[in-house]
Amino acid sequence: MQTNSVDNPIKQFFTVEKIALIVIAIGVIIRIINLGGREFWYDEVLSLLLSTSNKSIYNNPGDVPVLLAQYTALLTIPTESSLGDVFQTIIILLKSFLGGEPHPPLFFLSQHFWLRICGNSEAAMRSLNTLFSIAAMGGAYGLGKFILGHRGGLFFASLLAISPFYLFHSLNVRMYAPLVLWVILSTWALLSLIEQKNADFPQSRRRWLLWNGILIISITAGLMTFYLYAYWLIVLGVLVLYLDRKHWLQHGLSLGAGVLLTTPWVLWGTVKQLRNADINRFGNIKSSLPPLLIHLQDFANTLGTDVLIGDWATSVNPYIITLSGFLVILAFIGFSIHLWKKNERKNLITALILGILPLGLALIIDIVTKKFTLGFGFGRTMIIIVPGCLLLITLWLEKAVNKQWRTLVATGILLVYLSISIGDFSLRSRNVFHSITELVAKDVSQPTLIAMNSKAWGHVNRLAYYIPADYPVLLLSHHPANLATNLEKVLKEEPDKYSRIIWLNSHNPVWSKLKTEAEVQREEEKMKNILSSQYKLQETRNLSGTLTLDKFTANLYNRG
> What is the rounded average pLDDT of the residues 319-328?
96
Residue 75, CB-side half-sphere exposure with 13 Å CA sphere: 27
Q: What is the pLDDT of residues 81-94, one digit of tens each?
A: 778 778 888 888 88
CA dihedral 66→71→72→77, nearest 10 degrees, is: 150
Q: Where are the beta strands (DSSP E) in 215-278?
A: none
User: What is the DSSP code string of 314-365?
Assistant: GTS-HHHHHHHHHHHHHHHHHHHHHHHHTT-HHHHHHHHHHHTHHHHHHHHH
Task: Give the pLDDT mean for 175-191.
Answer: 97
Region 391-398 average pLDDT: 98
Q: How confident is the model at residue 280 (pLDDT cuts 50, 70, 90)?
A: low
Per-residue model confidence (pLDDT) at position 285: 66
Mean pLDDT of 383-397: 98
pLDDT at 486: 94
Would you state the pLDDT for residue 235?
Answer: 97
What strand order describes the sheet that includes 473-477? 66-67, 473-477, 448-452, 500-506, 552-559, 535-543
Q: Which of 281, 278, 275, 269 is nearest to 96 (CA)?
A: 269
| Residue-wise pLDDT tens digits, 444-463 | 888 999 999 999 999 999 99
pLDDT tens, position by position, 4-26: 544 566 566 689 999 999 999 99
Q: Could you tell me which of 553, 466, 475 has the C-alpha nearest to residue 509?
A: 553
Q: What is the pLDDT of residues 118-157, one digit of tens each?
A: 999 999 999 999 999 999 999 999 999 999 999 999 999 9
> Which pTM does this prediction carry?
0.93
Buried b / exposed e along 340-370 (16+ C-beta atoms within 10 A): eeeebeebbbbbbbbbbbbbebbbeebeeee
